[in-house]
Chain A
Amino acid sequence: MASYERRSFDVLVIGAGGAGLRACIEAAAAGVTVGLITKTLLGKAHTVMAEGGIAAALANVDERDSWKVHFADTMRGGQYLNNWRMAELHAQQSPDRVRELEAWGALMDRTDRGKILQRNFGGHAYPRLAHVGDRTGLELIRTLQDHGVHQGIEVFNEYTVTRLLKDGGRVSGCFAYDRNKGSFIVFEAKALILATGGVGRAYRITSNSWECTGDGHSLAYEAGADLIDMEFIQFHPTGMVWPPSAEGILVTEGVRGEGGVLRNSEGRRFMFDDIPPLYRDQTADTEEEGWRYVIGDRDARRPPELLTRDHVARCILREVREGRGSPHGGAFLDISWIREKIPSSEEHIRRKLPSMYHQFMQLANVDITKEPMEVGPTTHYVMGGVRVDADTQMSTVEGLFAAGEVAAGLHGANRLGGNSLSDLLVFGKLAGEHAADFAKRRGTVSLDEGEIDLAAREALAPLDRRGEGVGGEGPYQVQFALQDLLQEKVGIVRDAERVTAALHEIQGLKARASGVAVNGSREYNPGWHTALDLKHMLVIGEAAARAALTRTESRGAHTRDDHPGKDPEWGKKNVVVRRSSTGEMEVDTIPCPVIPEHLQQIIREQG
């Protein structure tokens, strides 16, 4: 039996991005012991890459904004598959969560009156995103980190959880390894919060960090929790497409918020060619009206570049497929054109979009103040995840909570830009609060030694196989094969034939993954870590594929070539994926929670 260290906490948080840190701060404030496990170093989680801003109806720039408008925008963006209660809580509480960041030292850009400045973003009726240039995620994570380290939270840097442990039907801890030493550690916890972020690394082209391998989704699934909406994976319309080394790196929606326009190879602003009925009344008729909106004319309507991400991504794909793409298979995103409107446009662009300027200069030799960028869709965000109770963030398994990207419900079929950072803050706080409350009410926990032993053997398996000479395949090859497969067959546009083929191939990849052998020692061995991540990514791939096959319609981020229209019946259901008693993945549907009348009225009023 493998040796391991043992630690115990009231509340244990897995993941140190915005949601995890915010949950820790709240739980610590409730007076319980808090442990924080992060796969990376503190302050480096994927939250750090968020660029555009935090959506909150502060109404600092346009006083017509309110939580009601934000709520209606979020529901419309999610095509009404959202959990209405989460959308309501989110819209109501995000302004306080943003102001609280200032109490902890955040320095966001200011209005002329010295209040938090807000910018335009896709799908938001008014300028709503609190921001710092285009590095808002860094500001958010650093603020929470710097405040958090003084709250008595114990941080486990570079530890990775491989399995959740249960005490009967309840989650009561987890099994993890220390990357640096390769040693094992078992955590006991009265309440456990998953804040592990997204799944982008299961795809070849992604804006996501190395660590976004869907660990939390898969850990929850293995522990018996329901996952919902796994067919909804957001492809951000503007990732870099050239050079190959930079493929997938995010180009913030803030570029379009600041007046950037999309053009095809013929120079046409193709976003004017297809405006969805749901947004027709809110979208500008002319280029001139669109520009007036950007500079703050309150009577003007949004330019079509600021339609929701799912739609913009599909439009770019259409241009490319029909032969009007840019040289490297994308579209042109141009902010430099604003020199026609603003005298000191170069300085303006560098001030508003400093990291974009730097990123394109450094990686692509493109000066965005002078020439257009080439952009195309990149795997960005998963709307699906752990099904949670809206008010407490507890999953369908007792003792297991989830917050942030790993949780589902707020965003429905498509997330609006800026709603992710506010999601982290609002639901990170609620998860921390309710997990602490749960932990206080729970008695002692006990762990099953057999389960621990199984987890240890499972973790060591890839290293144990190195001497056997079987398979001989490395973990990276299996990972690349899965990434290519999901990109091609469970990507932006799906159909039954390709998704079915993907499911078949995933079975083959599972077999390959179980034969992967890695060499080297247990100390900081990325080959070994990748071998262990494969299990998670395969669960994600299978869940996304099964859910995508089930939803026979096109809605939000889920586009089926063989079912191109929206089906009103599917507008009332969420797809659920769970592990059956025999260990197979089963798919089910549940009715969407019914929106109460007073909120339906808000939706109607906001048109």
Chain B
Amino acid sequence: MDKATFKIWRGHAGDGAFETFETDVWHGMVVLDAVRAIQAEQAPDLGVRWNCKAGKCGSCSAEVNGMPRLMCMTRVREMGMDKPITIEPLHTFPHVRDLVTDVSWNFDVKKRIKPFTPAPRDADGSWTMAQSDVVRPQEFRKCIECFLCQDVCHVLRDHRRYDDFVGPRYLVHLAQLEMHPLDTGDRLDELRTEHGVGYCNITKCCTKVCPEGITITDNAIIPLKERVVDRAYDPLRKLVQIVTKKPARS
């Protein structure tokens, strides 16, 4: 049987080093299989977060050969077996142990976003929505919250703007709410201010790493930026506001 070598980051709260392991590679093996095999045979306390091993829960996010990926959907052979495959925890979040990071900041961010607020129901107690109107937000609702987009985003990863930028995951969430056919909420002012949509300079790294293939930048972030610009910076609108003496909403 073929063998592959893995260099896995081990340590506590930021302190650590790569440890090298070798394991058999079987047909169709994914990186998470290798990590579990190493756990079972060589390092029982190797810390790793995973649940479904089917690409649906978004738990086993890590950086494999430097790329943010789901370990359960990354085939070992795709990574090339001629040199060691490196596995590191996500860099953008505080390190807990081995491959595990503390992603709780993400959950806190979501709580700060104005929740879904539906329009009144039809007379029969349900709602009517055309399939063509739900397709757009449905793309955003495919998100499995693996936070790979948050990990790769330089505004968070390099510039550490955790306090004034919500990151691509939550711009997708906001786009889903803003484009939801039933939602009556308005989040454009917060998008410009506390959610920090302006920090995104559309490098599209988030779109590239999304395991669900969500076109994050083009379909979610850019339309949000356009809506914010229309609201806050449209000169014609500004003029109308001055003439009618209505205060600008933003």
Contact = CB atoms under 8 A, between A and B. Distances in A.
Interface of A: 40-46, 48-49, 99, 102-105, 107, 109-110, 113-117, 132-133, 135, 137-139, 142, 146-147, 149-150, 155, 157, 180, 207, 209-211, 242-246, 249-250, 355, 358-359, 362-364, 474-477, 480, 518-521, 523-528, 530
A265 to B, nearest CB: 20
Contacts of B110: 146, 149
Given A46-B52, A110-B131, A210-B53, 4 more contacts: A155-B107, A245-B26, A518-B45, A524-B98
B40 A480 contact: yes
A249 B116 CA distance: 33
Contacts of B96: 180, 523-524
A521 B27 CA distance: 34
A359 B54 contact: yes
| Residue picked from A49, A114, A157, most chain B C-beta under 10 Å | A114
B26 A244 contact: yes
B103 interface: yes
A571 B59 CA distance: 43
B240 interface: no
Please give me the 10 A-B residue pairs with the lowest Cβ-Cβ distance, nearest first.
A243-B28, A520-B45, A527-B44, A105-B116, A114-B128, A476-B40, A245-B28, A524-B47, A524-B97, A110-B131
B44 A40 contact: no
A48 B144 CA distance: 9
B59 A521 contact: no
Interface in B27-83: 27-30, 33, 39-40, 44-59, 73, 75
B127 interface: yes
Contacts of A149: 107, 110-111
Contact of B115 (A44, A146, A519): A146
A348 to B, nearest CB: 14
B48 A526 contact: yes
B39 A104 contact: no
Contact of A157 (B33, B44, B107): B107
B141 A132 contact: yes
A519 to B, nearest CB: 6
Given A363-B30, A523-B96, A110 B55 contact: no
Contacts of A519: 44-45
Given A105-B180, A110-B129, A523-B97, A362 B45 contact: no
A364 B52 CA distance: 17
Nearest to A531: B44
B59 A44 contact: yes
Given A41-B59, A102-B126, A363-B73, A527 B54 contact: no
Interface string B200-244: 000000000000010000000000000000000000000000000
A526 B26 contact: no
B125 to A, nearest CB: 7
Interface in B78-103: 96-98, 100, 102-103
Given A42-B107, A523-B96, A249 B44 contact: no
B114 to A, nearest CB: 10
Contacts of B28: 242-246, 363-364
B134 A107 contact: yes
B20 interface: no
B55 A359 contact: yes
B97 A518 contact: no
Contacts of A528: 45
| Residue picked from B44, B49, B110, most chain A C-beta under 10 Å | B44
Given A105-B118, A138-B142, A355-B56, A525 B29 contact: no
Contacts of A359: 54-55
Contacts, number: 176
B123 interface: no
B4 interface: no
Interface residues of B, number: 61
Nearest to A139: B141
| Residue picked from A107, A116, A157, A249, most chain B C-beta under 10 Å | A107
B103 A138 contact: no
B41 to A, nearest CB: 8
A180 B103 contact: no
A352 to B, nearest CB: 13
Contacts of A109: 131, 134
A475 B41 CA distance: 11
B168 interface: no
A110 B57 contact: no
Given A41-B59, A138-B56, A526 B128 contact: no
Given A475-B44, A526-B39, A245 B138 contact: no
A132 B139 CA distance: 11
Contact of A209 (B51, B102, B138): B51
A157 B129 CA distance: 35
Contacts of A250: 54
A252 to B, nearest CB: 11
Nearest to B28: A243
B57 A474 contact: no
B142 A135 contact: yes
A565 to B, nearest CB: 37
B21 to A, nearest CB: 15
B161 interface: no
B215 to A, nearest CB: 14
A379 B213 CA distance: 29
B54 A142 contact: no
B139 to A, nearest CB: 10
A527 B115 contact: no
| Residue picked from A104, A211, A526, most chain B C-beta under 10 Å | A526
A524 B100 contact: yes
A530 B48 CA distance: 13
Contacts of B3: none
B51 A244 contact: no
A40 B59 contact: yes
Nearest to A42: B107
Contacts of B167: none
A138 B57 CA distance: 8
Contacts of B125: 99
A568 to B, nearest CB: 41
Contacts of A210: 50-53
Contacts of A523: 12, 47, 96-97
A358 B142 CA distance: 13
A114 to B, nearest CB: 4
B118 A211 contact: no
Nearest to A477: B40
Interface in B143-195: 143-145, 177, 180, 182-183
Contact of A49 (B57, B129, B137): B57
Contacts of A358: 55, 213
B27 A244 contact: yes
Interface in B4-24: 12
A147 B110 CA distance: 11
Contacts of A138: 56, 141-142, 144
B123 to A, nearest CB: 13
A461 to B, nearest CB: 16
Given A110-B134, A180-B96, A474 B40 contact: yes
A43 B54 CA distance: 15
16 contacts: A43-B145, A44-B52, A49-B54, A115-B126, A116-B126, A138-B56, A138-B142, A146-B116, A211-B51, A243-B29, A250-B54, A476-B40, A518-B45, A519-B45, A526-B47, A527-B44
B15 to A, nearest CB: 12
B53 A150 contact: no
